[in-house]
Amino acid sequence: MRILVLGGDGYLGWPTALHLSRRGHDVGIVDNCVRRQYDHEMGVDSLVPILQLHQRVRLWRDVSGLNIDTYVGDLTDAPFVDEVFDRFEPEAIVHFAEQRSAPYSMIDRRHAVYTQVNNVVGTLNLIYAIAEHDPSIHLVKLGTMGEYGTPNIDIEEGFIEITHKGRTDVLPYPKQPGSFYHLSKVHDSHNIQFACRIWGLRATDLNQGVVYGQETDETSLDPGLATRFDYDGVFGTVLNRFCVQAVVGHPLTVYGKGGQTRGFLDIRDTLACVELAVTNPADKGEFRVFNQFTESFSVRQLADMVADAYPGRVEIEHLEDPRVEKEEHYYRAAHTKLLDLGLVPHLLGGPTLRSVLAVADRHRDRIDPAAIGATVEWRRTASRLLTAEPVLD
């Protein structure tokens, strides 16, 4: 199959492109490389050093004998999108090409506007290009479990059956996003669903949980094929932060009570889920939603697991939560559709945690302790980049 991976220079996009290439698909990467610019803006860097995109692609060709086409440009540029479609003629598209950090979207007005324009307009250009070039192209779009929020009822996979005043219908599951980034994902879902209904497109929305891990079968073939590892306060994930803090002897910083519960999955399962969605496409006119995670953990559970897995002494410290979120809540989400398609999960246990800790330890000389702390405060309405400890109103 001819598959375009949008955002193919990113944390998930790069290993996804390699995985699909190795599985025999013709792969093209589209990226504007802006993710690297965010590091310069924030004054941080990937813990694991990564090559430039063209260097990566050349190395992949040398290591595997397989070629990946590259197109450098922006999805908000409609003529560029059309040109890529004309040149590559995709049969399926995997869409990772969005600003994906909730804290980044909450820094201030400029970052919120940028996030929504980049994400929503880019996706709109994409669905228009599919409709105009080839409506049979299957769009696999990375969504987020954060679209749902933390309702006091079970979270279904995209849709819920409602009975109201004696009448029943199946409706999109209510959304309660927690940041302007998550709101952009909700807008994407609505726009894509509308295009499927009106234009007969076919799309799969992968509402993904928090991904952990840095090594895949393909990236492990050569150090130069590595994907990034983010641990900073803006783009880093909670498990990465805890592992880095354990390695440098810093207390694991749990925000608030630590009862915030989310879905999680191994990076290798992300690749498997994407491939399952691509090779089992939606029907014409169908907008389907898969909840893409394998297990649920609270922040405090993750801290305890890291403390147990790390061979040295680890302390856990509770800080005031810089976000506006429930610190204790009900959380039960369905995630059966990908399992039904054949997903065999890698579950989070001691060996996996020790492998992430080992990555952090190998690159401990690149850890910047100043980058670890929270630097964005949800409650402030002016400049939200903090220079010291979080200040709560």
**Is 114 in the active site?**
no
Q: What is the dihedral of CA 93, 95, 97, 102, to 10 degrees?
A: 180
Q: Tell me: the pLDDT tens digits for 20-36? A: 999 999 999 999 999 99
Tell which residue, 164, 54, 34, has the closest CA to residue 100. Answer: 34
One-letter amino acid at 191 equals: N
- Average pLDDT of span 143-169: 98
Q: Above 80 in pLDDT, residue 388?
A: no
* CATH code for residues 2-371: 3.40.50.720
DSSP string, 323-375: S-S-SS----B---HHHHHT-------HHHHHHHHHHHHHTGGG--GGGTS--
Q: Which position among 11, 16, 173, 185 bears the catalytic label?
A: 185
231 carries an active-site annotation: no
DSSP3 helix / strand / coil % (the chain, rounded to 5): 40, 20, 40
Identify the band that residue 268 occupies on the pLDDT scale cut at 50, 70 and 90.
Answer: very high
- Percent of the chain past pLDDT 90, that is, above it, reads 96
Give percent of the chain above pLDDT 70. Answer: 97
Q: Which of 148, 173, 181, 331 is catalytic?
A: 181
Distance, in Å, from the CA atom of 124 to the CA atom of 76, rounded to the nearest integer, reads 8
Mean per-residue pLDDT of the chain: 96
pLDDT at 342: 98
Please count the other Cβ atoms lying within 10 Å of the Cβ belonging to residue 385. 15
Catalytic residue among 144, 253, 261, 375: 144
Strands 159-164 and 167-172: antiparallel
User: Domain boundaries in the chain?
Assistant: 2-371
Q: Nearest 10 degrees: CA dihedral of 120, 156, 93, 65?
A: 130
- Is 38 annotated as catalytic? no
CA 44 to chain centre: 19
pTM, to two decimals: 0.96
The token duo for 360 is 């952090």
pLDDT tens-place string over residues 276-301: 999 999 999 999 999 999 999 999 99
Confidence class of residue 104 from pLDDT cuts 50, 70 and 90? very high
- The span from the CA of 373 to the CA of 355, in Å, is 23
Asked if pLDDT for residue 197 goes beyond 90, the answer is yes
pLDDT tens per residue across span 109-133? 999 999 999 999 999 999 999 999 9
